[in-house]
Amino acid sequence: MEIVRKLADQVGFQVLHRRWVVERTLSWITRCRRTVRDYERHPEHHAAMVQWAMVIVMTRRLARYQRAGRLRSVTSPA
């Protein structure tokens, strides 16, 4: 992991290298209700909720590709 700091002569907003990837991923995670607030008492439970949120994101994405015909089924002949 690399920490990207603001430039010394920077005034106003400037897109930082690869930061948009982190911001986009955090927005996907916060779409799930239980990850918006800290409802969990143990950090392990919160980590599980974050992982579950990403599982939901990825399964929806895979289902969308399946419907569009971009992803072949494993059992279908080539």
Q: Give residue-wise pLDDT tens across range 17-60.
A: 677 788 888 888 888 887 877 777 888 888 888 899 999 989 98
- Judge whether residue 76 has pLDDT over 60: no
Reported confidence tier of residue 69, pLDDT bands at 50, 70, 90 = confident
- Does the residue 59 lie in any domain? yes
Q: How far apart are CA 15 and CA 12, in angstroms?
A: 10
Kindly tell me if the per-residue pLDDT of 73 is higher than 60.
no
In a domain, 49, yes or no: yes
| Torsion sign across C-alpha atoms 36, 37, 43, 45 | negative
* Domain span holding position 48: 42-67
User: How many structural domains are present in the chain?
Assistant: 1
**What local confidence, expressed as pLDDT, does residue 12 receive?**
82
Q: Does 37 reside within a domain?
A: no
Q: What is the pLDDT of residue 75?
A: 59
Both structure tokens of 51: 């992982």
Residue 30 covered by a domain: no
Residue 63 lies in a domain: yes
Q: Evaluate whether residue 50 is within a structural domain.
A: yes
- Residue 47: inside a domain: yes
